[in-house]
Amino acid sequence: MQLKRWIVLAVLAAALVLTTGIQAAQQTNVRYDKWGPKVDEIIMPIIKEPEAQRIAFERGETVVLPGLTRPEDIDRIKRNPNADITMNLGFHMFYLAFNMRRAPLSDLVIRQAIAHVVNRDQIINQLFQGYMLPLESFVPQSSPFYNPNVDSYPYNPTRAREILDKAGYKLDPKSGVRIDPKTGNPLRKMYILTPTYEVAPTSAELGRMIAEAARAIGLPVEAQPMDFPTMLEKIDIFEFDMYLLAWGLERNPTFLYDFFHSSNDVKAGYNTPGIRNAELDRALEELYYAPDRATAQRAANKAQEILSREIPYVVLYSRPYIDAWRKDMVTGYIPMLGYGAANYQNQWTTLNIRRRAGEGGTIRWLLPEEPKNLNVVTASSAYEFEVLGRIYEGMYAIDPVTMQDIPWLAESWDVGTWEPAPGKKGTVVTWHIRKGVKWQDGMPFTSADVKFTIEFMKKNEVPLYQSRWKDIVKVETPDQYTAKVYFGTQSYWHLYNADFPWLPKHIWEDVKDYTNFQPWLEPHPTVKGLTKAIGTGPFILKEYKPGEYVRLVKNPNYWALKPWK
């Protein structure tokens, strides 16, 4: 299976080289330090407009232009002698989501028809000039759990019309709109939410293209570009028909459970389509609670088959991470399969990037959208985690070459079983916490913080981390540097569910309403110059001026400032 996966990745990478002229990074040649950071300060100017982003990069006002998607930008930067482009296949999915709670999109026939009018080849060639990879499965090609053998809905408007006709959605020749067979009235207008053209021109244009194709078969669909934070708010409370969005996914396929299990059909939860399917729930539960990898693989394949049949999303494409760097100004950016070189989930670039002029000093790192919420418990967008991901850390890290787990805040861990009830097995994860780790205010990071974080998340039923806390029964702290996390169920994946963005107990224990807590705006109670948004990570949030910039400074208490084993 692993050999087959790497053959697939090699073929995909070769195809991208042919179409884009960009050589994918050779993972075996990556060299990096596990310690840092190598700069004193990162200023993240907030520049939303794509043209302004490119100009700032060309002028050297930012050292990185992350997540390139516009072909004209990529082609122009390829000609820039001062620029370097890194490309990595990504754990990424761009999709059109349906609100299955609302008629007529609650009818599978309508979703099937829309799926058949989506022209992936046109999208990739016209909008992206071949820089994206078509995707029809619910797991990206870079994942070892990708299942290519699923139902597909190739571009076929004729087939879409046949499906609608057969189901009784006849076309009104006067209005050109399909008639609802249940009511005898024309179908109501449906809207696709997208970001604005100014913020995400390809997404906005994609919404227009799909809406136009739907109207051509008699479905009254309109694109509705809007402010991105407003769009997210509407999605959270289910005030939408359809929306276009991307997800940066994880290595593990458990995101399928998060996105599509009926228990996650809650406001601000991940199951935004509201899919509730008993067969799917069983497959997702088998995946989530798989005792071994073979069971997980089988369940992941089954879940993808059901999802492709039920169509809560029309999966459109997977985006390789294409990042541009000012090679005349910085070095030390580390390519990473699945995440790219600039993504916040790639901590190695954060630790290793340095100025050509030498270590220390300041670099300017583009932030392409406003991070309006810097509360790590409630933040919901990748733009917010581009900041938070450099402040907070987890117990393990991912090696950028092997993609294997390596110790980080935990120097080691054990995974075993216990009996939550007679005859029933549960998983217990024991974290052996690294000694000497401190919070950014100098206080020690201990097992008490681990216990507090998990109990806080569970007590407050925090939706963002529901899949992690929901099966945890208790946390024990035998000593300052040992935390034992007990799950009431057994699962291959509970090692990852036992890891959280850890909260400092001495800051958060007085928080009564976490949803309205704004830690980035509240001064630290004892350390001047800090806010309450503190973690254990390599950078401290020093300043945030909405609409202008975020300023991060090197954490003088960081445990990995110097080489370690």
Average pLDDT over residues 241-252: 90
Q: Compute the residue count for the chain.
A: 565
- 99-148, pLDDT tens digit by residue? 999 999 999 999 999 999 999 999 999 988 888 888 888 998 878 899 98
3-state secondary structure of 306: helix
- 501-556, pLDDT tens digit by residue? 999 999 999 999 999 999 999 999 999 999 999 999 999 999 999 999 999 999 99
- Break the chain into its structural domains and give their ranges: 2-89+320-368, 149-312, 397-517
- Return mean pLDDT, the chain: 92
d(CA 94, CA 122): 15
289: nearest Cα among 425, 412, 397? 425
C-alpha pair distances (Å), 145 with each of 137, 148, 254, 310: 11, 10, 10, 19
3-state secondary structure of 379: coil
pTM for the structure as a whole: 0.76
Both structure tokens of 352: 């290793």
Report the chain's terminal Cα–Cα distance, integer Å. 32
> For residue 156, what is the DSSP state?
-
The answer on pLDDT for 193 being more than 80 is: yes
- Can you count the helices (H) and strands (E) in the chain? 17, 21
Task: Write down the pLDDT at residue 266.
Answer: 92
The answer on pLDDT for 455 being more than 60 is: yes
Topology, domain 149-312: Dipeptide-binding Protein; domain 3 (3.10.105)
d(CA 124, CA 138): 18
Task: Write down the pLDDT at residue 9.
Answer: 44
Task: Write down the pLDDT at residue 256.
Answer: 96
E strand intervals along 462-547? 472-479, 482-487, 539-545
- 25-51, pLDDT tens digit by residue? 445 567 899 999 999 999 999 999 999
CATH of 397-517, one of 3.20.10.10, 3.90.76.10, 3.10.20.740, 1.10.3480.10: 3.90.76.10
Q: Do domains 149-312 and 397-517 have the same CATH topology?
A: no
In DSSP terms, which residues pair with 92 in a beta bridge?
A: 248
CATH of 2-89+320-368, one of 3.30.420, 1.20.120, 1.20.1070, 3.40.190: 3.40.190
**Do 409 and 502 meet the contact criterion of CB atoms below 8 Å apart?**
yes
